[in-house]
Amino acid sequence: MVFEYIQTEPIPIVKHVFIIAEIGINHNGDLKIAKELIDLAKNAGCDAVKFQKRTIDIVYSKDFLDSPRESPWGNTQRDQKVALEFEESEYDVIDAYCREQGIDWFASAWDIPSQMFLSKYNLKYNKIASALLTNRKLLEAVSKQKKVTFISTGMSTLSDIRFAVNLFNDNNCPYILMHSVSEYPCKDDSLNLQVIEELRKKFNCPVGYSGHEVSVSPSVFAAAWGAVAIERHITLNRAMYGSDQSASLEKSGLELMVGQIRKIPLILKTAKKCISVEESKNAKKLRYWLSL
């Protein structure tokens, strides 16, 4: 993935920000909902949709899975986790449907078997979730595939990020760091969008933004601040069951965000002060006194 810039000083303006609609587990285990969310992302002008893939018994302990949790699918954590996890038959449908709709898809794997599972679909991109940033074995498995990888940096220090960056550099794997704050939903005064520029300077790489706030504007600000990619959770309805629903964008919010981000290169355009053709015409009318 090569990003084109209109200008590089003082902040890079990206010609086309890569917008990822994070479906995650907001499909609630329902393929019909997943397809509706794919349609929502495609129609809004997003570049890709993203899911999450876990091997339940690797990611979670038996004690945790056996612990109580009330959900639409049962009374334990296992009941819920299993219900929210798509398997091969569902991903076969998702893969075919995304190809039919003309939108890329990929997923963040939470364990190595899940990463190997996703490999069968020949996806363009990989994703490292914030929770897995310090998981050496997973980072090695992903980076050895040498696909463009979005690396979320929530809950991480600069030292943690350097650990991941060094691994990807060692394996000559292209990556995009994604500034992120792992709060759901995230308050405005916790977003710290200036970190985008800090990461770009520290690691000399493209940087994007993965947001969990309720509103649209921070993602637009991030894109104007030079983020090359924007990732936001999407939902059919924020009131739906699920831990990520309240920090997601519904149809109107997603469309507004994408529309505003697509205008940024046109609005910012250049740092060179000049007089436009229309201004010249207006000057002749409004500065008539110069001829008196």
* Residue 291 clears pLDDT 90, i.e. is over it: no
- The pLDDT score that the predictor gives to residue 286 is 87
**Virtual CA dihedral for 102, 149, 132, 236, nearest 10 degrees?**
-20
The Cβ of residue 291 has, within 10 Å, a number of other Cβ atoms equal to 6
Predicted confidence (pLDDT) per residue in 70-93, tens digit: 999 999 999 999 999 999 999 999
Predicted confidence (pLDDT) per residue in 2-13, tens digit: 788 887 677 788
- The pLDDT score that the predictor gives to residue 11 is 78
- The pLDDT score that the predictor gives to residue 79 is 97
Domain 18-291 matching CATH 3.90.226.10: the answer reads: no
- The pLDDT score that the predictor gives to residue 292 is 60
- The pLDDT score that the predictor gives to residue 118 is 98
Arithmetic mean of pLDDT, 105-109:
98
Please give the Cα distance from 123 to 126 (Å, whole number): 8
Structure tokens belonging to residue 249? 């964008």
Closest CA to 188 of 165, 215, 161, 207: 215
- CB contact at 8 A, 119 and 107: no
Predicted confidence (pLDDT) per residue in 231-285, tens digit: 999 999 999 998 889 889 999 999 999 999 999 999 988 778 889 899 889 888 8
* Residue 289 clears pLDDT 70, i.e. is over it: no
* Residue 106 clears pLDDT 80, i.e. is over it: yes
Strands 74-76 and 68-71: antiparallel
**To the nearest whole number, what is the mean pLDDT of the chain?**
95
Radius of gyration of the chain (CA): 21
- The pLDDT score that the predictor gives to residue 5 is 82
Predicted confidence (pLDDT) per residue in 213-244, tens digit: 999 999 999 999 999 999 999 999 999 998 88
**Percentage of the residues of the chain whose pLDDT score is greater than 90:** 84
